[in-house]
């Protein structure tokens, strides 16, 4: 006896679109994670080194922030289609 109902079968086009969206979300999370690592590593490194070497660490923090912004922009683009009304 099977208690769980099977999900309705999706069309191949819809399934491919959902798989592509899932890949984009995973890539967005990876890019955001790299951005966070760069942001915090630059900030921590600037604490431990002399004030004459701040410029590379500040640029590392700016790159980290840029990657986080790109990550959220990619995530916003992929989730817009998720909340559309289902096809009839």
> pLDDT per residue over 32-76, tens digit each?
999 999 999 988 888 888 777 788 888 889 999 999 999 988 887
What pLDDT shows up at residue 74?
A: 83
* Residue 87 or 22, more confident: 22
For residue 64, tell me if it sits in a domain. Answer: yes
For residue 69, tell me if it sits in a domain. Answer: yes
- In this prediction the pTM is 0.66
Q: Let me know the angle formed at the C-alpha of 31 by 77 and 47, rounded to the nearest 5 degrees.
A: 130
For residue 8, tell me if it sits in a domain. Answer: no
For residue 63, tell me if it sits in a domain. Answer: yes
Computed on alpha carbons and rounded to an integer, the radius of gyration of the chain in Å comes to: 20
For residue 58, tell me if it sits in a domain. Answer: yes
Number of domains composing the chain: 1
Say which residues have a Cβ less than 8 Å from residue 34's Cβ, sequence separation at least 6. 64, 67
For residue 14, tell me if it sits in a domain. Answer: no
What pLDDT shows up at residue 80?
A: 58
What pLDDT shows up at residue 69?
A: 92
What pLDDT shows up at residue 2?
A: 54
Cβ neighbours around 80 below 10 Å, total: 9
């Amino acid at each position: 006896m099977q208690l769980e109902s099977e999900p309705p079968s999706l069309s191949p086009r819809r399934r491919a679109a959902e798989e592509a969206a899932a890949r984009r979300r995973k890539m967005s999370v990876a890019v955001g994670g790299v951005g966070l690592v760069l942001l915090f590593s630059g900030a921590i490194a600037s604490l431990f080194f002399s004030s004459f070497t701040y410029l590379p660490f500040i640029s590392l923090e700016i790159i980290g922030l840029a990657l986080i912004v790109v990550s959220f922009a990619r995530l916003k683009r992929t989730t817009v289609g998720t909340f559309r009304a289902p096809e009839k």
